[in-house]
Amino acid sequence: MLTATAPALAAPKADLWPFWERHSPQSTAQIDHSPWDRWLKQHIRRGDDGINRIAYAAITPAAHAELQNYINALQQTDIASYGRTQQFAYWVNLYNAATVALILAHYPVESIRNINIS
């Protein structure tokens, strides 16, 4: 019986959803993700296996600061004032940039699964 109720207890309260649904359908404003694009172009390397990976060992403190500046700028964004397409790009890019920053903060690490953030 406990497993049947556990997901219900973990679910967010319904009154939180209106906050996350806020957007401006008429907005034509765009969020500038060029700093993230530029950062990725500077730090991604193609491996011998053809897979692109971030060269974490080669990232300088200045490059780490650039990444953090991008994340900080996104965190200051009033995301509700944008349309859904821009919101989607915002959340995907913020998630990915924050994931890279987390790995950098714990580098060297064999796997992101080895990072304990709790």
Tens digit of pLDDT at every position of the chain (118 positions)? 445 555 555 665 666 677 778 889 899 999 999 999 999 999 999 999 999 999 999 999 999 999 999 999 999 999 999 999 999 999 999 999 999 999 999 999 999 999 998 8
| CA gap 106, 99 in Å, rounded | 11
Q: Where are the domains of the chain?
A: 31-114
State phi, psi for 26 to the nearest 5 degrees.
-85, -5
| CA gap 2, 95 in Å, rounded | 32
